Amino acid sequence: MVITITTLLPFLNRTLRESANNTHYSTHTAIIFLKLNLCLYRYERAGATVVQIFESVVARQPDKVAFLMDDGRLTFGQVKQLADRIAAHFYAKGFRKGDTIALLMETRLEYPCIWLGLSKVGIVTALINSNLRKETLRHSITVANSKAIIVSPELAGAIAEINEQEGIKGLPVHLFRPDGAPDTASSSSSSDLLPDAEDLRLSVDSSGSGSSNVDLSALPNDISPKDKLVYIYTSGTTGMPKAAVITNLRYTFMALGCYYMLSFRDDDIIYNSLPLYHSAGGMIGVGSVLLCGVTAALRKKFSASNFWADCIRYKCTVAQYIGEICRFVLMTPPKPTDTQHSVRLMFGNGLRPQIWPQFVSRFNIKQIGEFYGSTEGNSNLLNIDNTMGAVGFVPNFAKAIYPVTLIRCDEETGEIIRGSDGFCIKCRPGEPGVFVGKINPKKALNSFVGYADKAASEKKVLHDVFRKGDIFFNSGDILVQDLLGNYYFKDRTGDTFRCDEETGEIIRGSDGFCIKCRPGEPGVFVGKINPKKALNSFVGYADKAASEKKVLHDVFRKGDIFFNSGDILVQDLLGNYYFKDRTGDTFRWRGENVATSEVEGVITTIVGLKDCAVYGVDIPETEGKAGMAAIVDPEGKVDLEQLAAGIRASLPAYARPLFIRVLSEVPMTTTFKLKKRDLQVDGYDLTKIKDPIYFLQSNGTYRRFTADDHETIKSGKARL
């Protein structure tokens, strides 16, 4: 169907009429929503890929700076040149459309150029978390069926550790040195660690022969918007990272969504200190540059003390955050640079309502664009009107195009609650529920592609949600919506339906369908899946099993399907959503998802297969939950030095438990499941616990946790 004025009139009429009758959002909101959807529709109809949109940007501004970092910079034209050379090189090496190459690299100017170049061939880049080591790293590379590895010198040792293991042995390794630097002490050692690795930077620079033009005539011309672009990894209850499938269309939607809805300007400079292997930094931050033509200033590693100094240095007008970033910046001593910057807008996810007013007041931030969503899901929200604490709002006129909601769940378990008819139950305003989004494979906006692991994808899908045959993506998060329609995050587990808040299990009514939450009632956030619509599709993960786990069936009617976010949100009477919590065996710390089963597996191996439970505990004035491990050791034989050394060697810093509790026994349920909830409630409170607790020090070792330590943490003075 071609969009014309005639077909748009009824929709526009309803939009303008609703906005005139509702002071919560303006006609401006309706217009930018329409602009975004028209832009997405135009790109989808034209079959435009990320590369094609990027090259149209380059054509109009080749000499504009795309990326800044330290004293270096790359113009749009230079990004294209390097991407072209990468494409030509790997095509000449025999790589073809559909192949996967793993990229293990810390943030640097060339990072986006590499995966952009590979995408010109149709190669899917697996963006590997640079903190991963050993088995978790091996799994991340192999689960995506990688046929080669690109690694930077500082991470060569991580690849060398697993180079002889199954799935890695024999894979070609390409070493990408910074700025084509000749051998130095550090780069020489990386060559020693990986003696068979190709010097990729040298090969690529040589192939260019000083020319800015590379012959790309042999490259495929059949790459479509629905083809895979990259894999971005998420943590889940399976324990190991899941490779979420990001198509060209999904990447485009994520990048353009923030650009349009938050009213970015063409001359904006974005400060991006987030990892480029994550969706926030790599899709939204970098995507705004590649697809919209703004400039981004990158930083290798976030620094609270240098945050505003960097923004001033690079003349940034927009900055990205995660909740931890805002808290860390707020904890720095007041100084003149607090308000000497030009940042008018900060956007990201996880800014706690408790520090929101203080943050914007101290640093004079005019607008906060808090968003909610998952890398792989079709259910995303964005707060565009500065409603403090809210993670987003979906106007009534948009619900037909973007069918997300809250459904009731057991807040204790996350289990979806269904009514007597077997369908899910929508939450009332103020009632927490799981956030879900309807899946429509025919619409890019509503699709759910899933993970590389298909089984993991299926776990995220709800079937028969509101009618027989419909399917929804289950976010797994519990949100609450107020009477005005704003959503607020409540917990982890999108209309919201009821769930068990502790486990994230969907609660269904006597009819077998899910139950929509009332305003103020927490529920799992879900989004209806429609494979025919890009906005409502769910591509999923590389693992098909992982994708299926995210799909809910028969949600509100027989046959419908929804994406299950796994998050618990609450919606107020105005329609705003608020984040409440996340269900399942994960918690978030230092801006990263930590899978408890992965940490449990590592610790159990180190301590000789003793029973172990890992869970997240709250720390006052701190974002997320810190890791705590309870180990059954009635004989007192656990070697804490050996445990600490094993944890340091096997787990990234954010996944290392901050507390170790040594138990004489682990409380079990009648079905022989660990009573993690009881352990979590106890936390590290020495007034409740007689067991010894040990505390992680800055040097990576554990010492006895004392009453003074407990008081320091309770007072919010601990720097963790």
Structural domain includes residue 25: no
Burial (CB < 10 A; 0-12, 13-18, 19+), residue 105, is: buried
Residues 287 and 414 placed together within one structural domain of the fold:
no
pLDDT of residue 241: 85
Task: Name the average pLDDT for the chain.
Answer: 84
Question: Last residue of some domain: 350, 369, 388?
Answer: 369
pLDDT higher at 628 or 573: 628
pLDDT of residue 5: 44
Q: Does residue 431 contact residue 405 with C-beta atoms inside 8 Å?
A: no
Structural domain includes residue 540: yes
pLDDT higher at 145 or 188: 145
Question: 425 pLDDT exceeds 50?
Answer: yes
User: With bands split at pLDDT 50, 70 and 90, how would you rate the model's confidence at 95?
Assistant: very high
Question: 171 pLDDT exceeds 50?
Answer: yes
pLDDT higher at 491 or 651: 651
pLDDT of residue 666: 62
Mean pLDDT computed over 289-313: 96
Residues 222 and 151 placed together within one structural domain of the fold:
yes
Domain tally, the chain: 3
Q: pLDDT, tens digit, for every residue of 380-406?
A: 889 988 888 898 888 777 777 788 899
pLDDT of residue 150: 97
Question: 674 pLDDT exceeds 70?
Answer: no
Structural domain includes residue 603: no
Residues 566 and 621 placed together within one structural domain of the fold:
no
Residues 223 and 278 placed together within one structural domain of the fold:
yes
Q: What are the phi and psi torsion angles at 658 (to 5°)?
A: -80, -30
Q: Which domain holds residue 421?
A: 396-583
pLDDT of residue 673: 47
Residues 564 and 616 placed together within one structural domain of the fold:
no
Residues 249 and 107 placed together within one structural domain of the fold:
yes
Structural domain includes residue 67: no
Sign of the CA dihedral 518, 523, 525, 531? negative
Highest-pLDDT range among 349-363, 498-512, 659-673: 349-363
Residues 499 and 616 placed together within one structural domain of the fold:
no
Structural domain includes residue 593: no
Residues 440 and 348 placed together within one structural domain of the fold:
no
pLDDT higher at 494 or 525: 525
Residues 222, 223, 227, CA angle at the centre, nearest 5°? 135
Q: CA gyration radius for the chain? A: 25
Q: Does residue 440 contact residue 402 with C-beta atoms inside 8 Å?
A: no
Structural domain includes residue 216: yes
Structural domain includes residue 490: yes
Question: 665 pLDDT exceeds 90?
Answer: no
Look up the CATH number of the domain holding residue 145.
Answer: 3.40.50.12780
Q: pLDDT, tens digit, for every residue of 47-78?
A: 999 999 999 999 999 999 999 999 999 999 99
- Strand-pair partners of 456: 546
Residues 467 and 336 placed together within one structural domain of the fold:
no
Residues 574 and 618 placed together within one structural domain of the fold:
no
Residues 349 and 212 placed together within one structural domain of the fold:
yes
Question: 19 pLDDT exceeds 70?
Answer: no
DSSP letter for each residue of 390-458: --EE--GGGTTTS-EEEEEE-BTT-EEEEEEEEEBEEEPSS--EEEEEEE-SEEEEEEEEEEEEHHHHH
pLDDT of residue 29: 76
Task: Tell me which of 52-61, 87-96, 628-637, 666-675 is least confident.
Answer: 666-675
Look at strands 702-704 and 228-234 and give their pairing.
Answer: unpaired
Residues 426 and 567 placed together within one structural domain of the fold:
yes
Question: 622 pLDDT exceeds 70?
Answer: yes
Look up the CATH number of the domain holding residue 668.
Answer: 3.30.300.30
pLDDT of residue 8: 46
pLDDT of residue 589: 87
Question: 598 pLDDT exceeds 80?
Answer: no
pLDDT of residue 628: 95
User: With bands split at pLDDT 50, 70 and 90, how would you rate the model's confidence at 445?
Assistant: low
Structural domain includes residue 64: no
In percent, how much of the chain has pLDDT > 70? 87
User: With bands split at pLDDT 50, 70 and 90, how would you rate the model's confidence at 703?
Assistant: very high
pLDDT of residue 119: 98
